[in-house]
Structure 1
Amino acid sequence: MDRRKALKFTGSMATAAVVGPSLLSLLQSCKNETRIDWTPQFLTLDEAVFVAKVVDMILPRTETPGALDVKVDMFIDKVYAQLYNEEGQNHVRNEIAKFNTDCQSDFGADFVNLSESDQIKALQKAEETSGQFGSGVWGTTVGNPEPVGFYRSLKSTALWGYFTSEEIGENVLNYDPVPGAYRGCLSLDEVGNKWSL
């Protein structure tokens, strides 16, 4: 190795030794940093980050958009702000605080500050301990429904917001606008079997 290459190599190794740990800690701090880029109507910023993290874990981005891509967290905030009365809003705040208290006692930190594996365990526990919605017929509950916990209610609202969003409704689910497109003068071969009305 010639002298010039050796000096370059030594300089790059020294730079890596100094900059490497700093760069690594910077990247890790960005990974752990949680924030939202919208202003909640009802939730505090910490509560909004909590809701965003939960709905992102329930409906993550895959080959289809995730909950945060279609702004489910913003939808939930609007539901709490505009549809819940003061008692319901206080209940939501208390339940988010209780969820975080349970995470602290079980895993040592608030939900958003847990490792991903502990967050999954916390959601699995919530799934097991939260009540189930009763069965229904044509939108009417049958029998005596058990109380539904905060997690199940939040999950249900997240699914409602997700599947009724324009992006999912038009580009992911089958979409047939009513009354539908008019196609006149079709041959009988194109129509196929008779249609029942």
Structure 2
Amino acid sequence: MNRRDALKHTALLGSATALSGSLLALLQACQSQSRTAWQPRFLSQPHARLVSALVDTLLPATDTPGGLDVQVDMFIDLVFDKMYDEAGKKTIVAELDGFDEKCVATFGKVFHELDPAQRHSLLEEEEARSPKFSPSVWGYPVGEQQPVGFYRSFKSLAIMAYFTSEEIGKNVLSYDPIPGTYKG
């Protein structure tokens, strides 16, 4: 490994470390708000309803808490507000508008007004149509990278927010920090 690659990898590792702390701080900020008092920081009310409906469809409540129960939509709003630059924010708004326009063109209603069967059929179509993440090994891309669309990026962010929430981490995932006695 030459010096240039070593510096690049060190910078990438440092950025990932700094970013993880920011994400945790954002997640903790979401936990202190109640759903009824939530005022989106970045999203407009129609966009907030769309994001909440997407989260509820992707991560519904079953015998485990759903995405809305652990405030994934609030977390996504904070990520869009704090971690995107102005160009990224404009892109997000355009993609949210485009997604709702597709819903109106297909069903005559915006996404949050659709019934569950219509929501699922639309998301199944998006799942089949949107490009998948390119393979990587330890975060380093393998082969040619293709741009990932709005749906795949949003789904990835929602799932990450769900599994890193305190409620899911403590009460749903079976993680034993002390796995038992050592016999050796």
In the alignment, residue 114 of structure 2 is paired with which amino acid? L
Mean alpha-carbon deviation: is it higher for 96-105 or for 113-122?
A: 113-122
In 2, the alpha carbon distance for the partners of 1:50 and 1:93 equals 11
Extract unaligned runs of 5+ from structure 1. Answer: 1-35, 184-189
Aligned to 2:93: 93
In 2, the alpha carbon distance for the partners of 1:106 and 1:129 equals 15
Aligned to 1:167: 167
Mean alpha-carbon deviation: is it higher for 74-83 or for 129-138?
A: 129-138
Aligned to 1:82: 82
Find out whether 1:52 has 2:52 as its counterpart: yes
After TM superposition, give the deviation of residue 124 of structure 1 in Å.
Answer: 1.1
In 2, the alpha carbon distance for the partners of 1:113 and 1:167 equals 28
Extract unaligned runs of 5+ from structure 2. Answer: 1-34
In 2, the alpha carbon distance for the partners of 1:191 and 1:152 equals 42
Aligned to 1:152: 152
In 2, the alpha carbon distance for the partners of 1:54 and 1:161 equals 14
1:75-154 equivalences under 5 Å are 75-154=75-154
Q: Deviations over 1:69-98 (max 9, x none)?
A: 110000000000000011111111101111
TM-score (norm 2): 0.76
Q: Deviations over 1:27-84 (max 9, x none)?
A: xxxxxxxxx6211110011101110111111111111111011100000000000000
Q: Which secondary structure does the structure 2 equivalent of 1:145 belong to?
A: coil
| Higher radius of gyration, 1 or 2 | 1
In 2, the alpha carbon distance for the partners of 1:56 and 1:113 equals 13
In 2, the alpha carbon distance for the partners of 1:191 and 1:146 equals 46
In 1, the alpha carbon distance for the partners of 2:167 and 2:141 equals 30
In the alignment, residue 76 of structure 2 is paired with which amino acid? I
Aligned to 1:26: none
TM-score (norm 1): 0.71
* Aligned-pair identity (%): 45
After TM superposition, give the deviation of residue 170 of structure 1 in Å.
Answer: 1.1
